Amino acid sequence: MTSYEATILVVDDEQEITELIALYLQKAGYEVYAADNGAHALRMAETLQPDLILLDVSLGRMDGIEVCQALRQGVCADVPILFLSCKSEDGDIVRALSEGGDDYITKPFSPSQLVARIQAHIRRRRTRERGSEEPASSLSFPGLDIDFHSMEVRLNGEPISLSVKEFELLSVMARSPKRVFPLEELYRRVWQTDSMGDTRTLMVHVSNLRKKLESDPSRPRWIQTVRGFGYRFCPAENCEEQTS
C-alpha cells in the first residue's frame, strides 16, 4: 500500500491544468483528487477531508470565492486553502484572502514554487496540531489578550474571530513587541517558505487583521507599518510611532 505525504483536493475546471498539477504533486508524494466545479468540490471535501485544497477562483456557476466560503463553514474550517488564479490585481487578491483563503498563487506559476508553498502550509498545520510550535501560554496587553493554546483573542474583553493566518501573524509579532519584522522574514515565519518576491498575500492578511483589531484601521495602534522596513506590534498606546 502506497503511503502518501498528504491528500490534496484540486478544484479547477480546466482539465489540462488539473492534470499537470496532479502530475507534479504525485511526484512529490501527495495523493491527489480533482473536482471541476464548486458543487463537486464541496461533496469531495466532505468525503475526503483533505489536508489542503487548491482552488481556482474562476469556476463558472459557483466561483472559487463561494466555494471557499462554504468550505469554511463545514469540515474544512481550518484546512489550508490556496487560491489559483490568472487575476493578479490587488482587489482580486484581497477578496480571495478576506473570504478565507490562506494563500494566493497567480497563473502561470512555477511547479516547484507551487509544491514549496503546499509543503509549507501542510507542515505548518501539522506542527500546530501537534502543539509543538508554541508552548501553551498567553499574553496580555492593555485591552488585548492572546491565548496561544486555545487560539483565542479578546479585544477589550470581547472575543474576536481571526483566521488561522491572522492569528499566526499576530502571535509572531506579539511575542516580540516593538520589534520590526521585515516583510520577507514575517512571511517566512508564518508561511514557512520564501515569498518568491510577492508579499501581497502577507499585506492583505495584515490589512484584514487590522480591520478586526483597530478602531481606525487607517491609523493603526496595534499593528504598525514601519516605512521601508515592515511591521511591528505596538503593546502600548504611547508606543512611539514610526509610520506615516
Domain membership of residue 217 (yes or no) is: yes
Same domain, 87 and 178: no
Residue 93 pLDDT more than 60?
yes
The domain tally of the chain equals: 2
Instruction: Report yes or no on whether pTM surpasses 0.75.
Output: no
The answer to whether 173 and 233 have CB atoms below 8 angstroms apart is yes
Residue finishing a domain among 110, 130, 150: 130
pLDDT given for residue 134 in this prediction: 47
Distance CA 71, CA 73 (A): 5
pLDDT given for residue 21 in this prediction: 94
Q: Which of 55, 16, 48 is nearest to 31 (CA)?
A: 48
Same domain, 34 and 121: yes
pLDDT range class, residue 1, cuts 50, 70, 90: very low
Residue 239 pLDDT more than 70?
no
pLDDT given for residue 161 in this prediction: 93
Taking only the tens place, the pLDDT of each residue in 136-193 is 478 999 999 999 888 899 999 999 999 989 999 999 999 988 888 999 889 988 988 8
pLDDT given for residue 48 in this prediction: 87
Same domain, 182 and 125: no
Q: What is the CATH number of the domain that holds 26?
A: 3.40.50.2300
Q: Which of 203, 214, 175, 169 is nearest to 189 (CA)?
A: 169
pLDDT given for residue 237 in this prediction: 64
The answer to whether 4 and 29 have CB atoms below 8 angstroms apart is yes
Same domain, 124 and 23: yes
Same domain, 158 and 206: yes
Domain membership of residue 11 (yes or no) is: yes
pLDDT given for residue 57 in this prediction: 92
Beta strands 230-233 and 223-226, pairing class? antiparallel
Taking only the tens place, the pLDDT of each residue in 148-164 is 888 899 999 999 999 98
Domain membership of residue 242 (yes or no) is: no
Residue finishing a domain among 72, 99, 130: 130
Q: What is the CATH number of the domain that holds 167?
A: 1.10.10.10
Specify the higher pLDDT residue, 126 or 93: 93
Taking only the tens place, the pLDDT of each residue in 70-92 is 999 887 888 999 999 988 888 88
Average pLDDT rounded to a whole number, residues 185-206:
86
What is the extent of the structural domain holding 22?
7-130
Give the mean pLDDT of the chain. Answer: 87
Q: Which of 155, 149, 229, 154 is nearest to 186 (CA)?
A: 229
